[in-house]
Amino acid sequence: MMENPGSSREMFVRVHDLAAESPGPPVIRLANLILEEFLRAGAEQLSLTQGEGDYSPVRFLIEGQWRDVMKIPVPAAAPLMNRYKVMANLDIARRPAQRGQLHVRLAGTEYVLRITSTIPSPAREELVVAFPETDASTTTPRGTDR
Whichever domain contains 117, its CATH number is 3.30.450.90
Read off the pLDDT of each residue in 33-48 and give the average, rounded to a whole number. Answer: 92
- Whether 101 is in a domain gets the answer yes
Number of domains in the chain: 1
Band (121; pLDDT cuts 50, 70, 90): low
Segments forming the whole domain that contains residue 27: 13-145
- Whether 1 is in a domain gets the answer no
74-87 vs 26-40: helix crossing angle, rounded to 10: 70
- Whether 4 is in a domain gets the answer no
DSSP-assigned states of every residue in 17-61: -HHHH--S-HHHHHHHHHHHHHHHTT-SEEEEES-STTEEEEEEE
- Whether 5 is in a domain gets the answer no
Band (113; pLDDT cuts 50, 70, 90): very high
For the cut 90, the answer to whether the pLDDT of residue 142 exceeds it is no
d(CA 119, CA 135): 29
Of 60, 132, 144, 137, nearest to 105 by C-alpha is 144
- Whether 3 is in a domain gets the answer no
